[in-house]
Amino acid sequence: MDTQAEPGPRRPSPASLDLAIEGMTCVACATRIEKVLGRLPAVRASVNFATGRARVTFDPGCTDEAALTEAVARAGYSARVIETLPGAEEATATADADARRHEATLALAGSGLLTLPLLAQMGGMFMGRHEWMLPDALQFALATAVQFGFGRPFYRGAWNALRGGGANMDVLVALGTSIAWGYSAVVTFAAPGSHLYFESSATIITLVLLGKWLEARARSRTGAAIAALIALQPPTARVERTSPASAIDLLEVPVSQVLPGDMLQLRPGESFPVDGEVIDGRSTVDEAMLTGESLPVSKGSGDTVFAGTLNGTGALRVRATGIGSTTALARIVRLVGEAQGSKAPIQRLADRIAGVFVPVVLALAVLTFGGWMLSGAALVDSLVPAIAVLVIACPCALGLATPTAVIVGIGEGSRAGILIRNAAALEAAHRLDLLIVDKTGTLTTGAPQVTRVIAFGGASEADVLAIAAALEADSEHPLAAAIRRAAAAGHGTPAPHAEAFQAVVGSGVRARIDGRDALLGSVDWLQAEGIVLPARVQPAGDDADPLTWIAVAHGGRALGMVGMADALRPDTAGAVRRLGATGVELLIMSGDHPAVTARIAAQAGIERWRARCTPADKAAEAVRLKAAGRSVGMVGDGINDAPALAAADVSFAIGSGSGIALHTADITLMASRLSQVVDAIDLSRATMTKIRQNLFLAFAYNVLGIPLAAAGLLDPVIAGAAMAASSVCVVGNALLLRRWRPAHPAPEHILHSPATKGA
């Protein structure tokens, strides 16, 4: 008896999720959590200190969500799985951030009030007003309340870090202030009347709390882009409901209760609550919040509208097609959130340094103390510079230098209709020196018109268009749409039904119509398929008026040819000049005829071009140029561009293009304008400038501050103030990116909407 081996169990495909991490106080915490999660089987994690999130990829067959959160808990932190519904987690994060800022405000106010008398007496000493000195017992009481009351979070954070086998900023602050407080407490009771350092310990804690409050306040502004996107969607919708009496009632319901297929009514000036299809009415719609395009778009029956966009002066009746997480707005919010949580390659250096930073600082503090003791200094004179080293050496600025700039840069891009998939793409775009561009739909409008039809062998022009329209009935290609429009406009007979449809990428399509094979595509492809074209007909060589020609065959014989022309996009020539001015060279690679490609290249002002390129040709050229040392970008909009988009260093997809191109590309241009490529490169360069400035500030702060503290030239209080200021400076510098504006900005009412003003 024959036996068949049973197939083994299928291994689950890798899964990914985002975790919200609580308890991180510096980048050393993020590094520690990455290591802890990375020790789990088949787990890869990337923790972003600036966003407080971890992106985790794992094998469900080896690890589950509970194991991930438990590992984070064992490291001394807490983790929560982020819900996948876009907007919900962002709203929760915003509420949590507001609550934390409120708590930080109360802690700062309380600590400041208790520290103020200690600071006042220190000021009195400098002015010779010794009567301002507080009794030792009162100093002890005030400093103790600050140290163990408002400073308790530092002890808790330090204990959690040490318990998890790591060390972070809390260890430095807790250790430094505890030494100052502990020495003063001993002296208070063992040698009354001696000099005390209670004001140093209390002031350091207060200054660190001030820095945390300022940092939280500044960092909350980096999420303004997502907050503005979420605010675009109205909370309610007016939906048509059928009453028991079969009458149609108009009810205002929460957006969450809208179902696919529901009929909605939109008044002039209202925002669309969901994605939908216009059923009745005509209006203009402002889509700048999604595309960055400043001109309103005309909408009528059959057109698509998107959640968050703004209706113009007309009333519309819309059928809901996309709700909740399936709307274009929700996908953009999700994409922007994931991109903001990703890490740029340039951050690796900072992460490596942060991983060993705190232990090195602890060693430097011990060496500082020992060096001063060996030099003959007194105990207290040796402790003060060691405390200053512990306090000034905060890795927060180093950890915030890159991610804050990335968050702001990606957020500003989203507001301009430039959706950047991850931080690596944002970083790579600034290095581009050569850009490969597709022609149809990228340089041109992508909406060609049928200008000429040639029929062969007794067939009519109507027959040619009818067969062509049947073959292109389900195609998304711009040329297919032009053929369908021509057929529908009365230039052809009703299209017959096509069966067994098959697309041949880069060549054409085939199907069966009325039981016979039908082909549509390039002349070369039809000839390769054995179709004989009349020798006297050479329309593709008409250089006086070069058109894009498509051949049509039915039943094994040539039926005719369809000639089409496409117009250059209005912004293309200007974008080409701007790219040239920034040092980016352009190369057109098109599958079209050389004469057509040459005409478009001349109109656009592009010198280098190649025609009759297959998808493999485009991808191979991108690989060849990269091997030659060029940094290559690719701009496209069609299925045939996907291989080249994947092969390029940075890929740009025109927003109106195919779904495959959008999923393959690193950067999506929602306004479908080549000028947005220029804006994306400009934004990348501006972001990288801020990252370099931030890294310089962070490194320079520590390189200069630690030696000064070790040399006894910085009082611990001054060191605490400098540490608090360093993070604020880095975040504030990153926020200056919000001044960036695209060459073709969105309207003022979008850039300065209530959602963005309050951020």
By CB atoms closer than 10 A (0-12, 13-18, 19+), residue 494 is exposed
Angstrom distance (rounded) from CA 630 to CA 433: 7
Bridge partners, 502 (sequence order): 510
Angstrom distance (rounded) from CA 593 to CA 604: 17
Give the strand pairing for 650-654 and 632-636: parallel
Strands of 43-48's sheet in order across:
43-48, 53-58, 15-22, 78-81
Residue 98 is among the residues annotated as catalytic for this protein: no
By CB atoms closer than 10 A (0-12, 13-18, 19+), residue 11 is exposed
Please give the span between the terminal C-alpha atoms of the chain, in angstroms, as a whole number: 74
| Amino acid identity, position 11 | R
Angstrom distance (rounded) from CA 494 to CA 405: 57
Angstrom distance (rounded) from CA 529 to CA 468: 17
Q: Token pair 């080249």 is at which residue?
A: 644
Q: Which two tokens stand for residue 54?
A: 């971890």
Angstrom distance (rounded) from CA 516 to CA 496: 12
Which is the catalytic residue, given 18, 262, 275, 438?
A: 438
> Count of alpha carbons within 13 Å of 199, Cβ hemisphere only?
19
DSSP 52-84: TEEEEEE-TTT--HHHHHHHHHHTT-EEEEPPS
Contacts of 4 (CB under 8 A, 6+ apart): none
Q: Are 477 and 656 in contact (CB under 8 A)?
A: no
359-365 contacts: CB < 8 A, separation 24 or more? 359/167, 361/172, 361/389, 361/390, 361/393, 361/706, 362/167, 362/171, 362/172, 362/175, 362/390, 364/389, 364/393, 364/706, 364/710, 365/175, 365/176, 365/389, 365/390
Of 723, 739, 692, the C-alpha closest to 170 is: 723
Q: Three-state DSSP class for 651?
A: strand
Distance of CA 142 to the CA centre of its chain: 47
Q: Which two tokens stand for residue 173?
A: 């602050």
Q: What are the distances in angstroms from CA 714 to CA 198, 209, 385, 667, 710?
A: 17, 20, 7, 47, 8
Bridge partners, 455 (sequence order): 560
Q: Which two tokens stand for residue 200?
A: 């140093």
Of 72, 95, 52, 740, the C-alpha closest to 403 is: 52
Characterise 265 by phi-psi region: left (phi > 0), alpha (psi -120 to 50), beta (else): beta
- Catalytically active residues, by annotation: 438
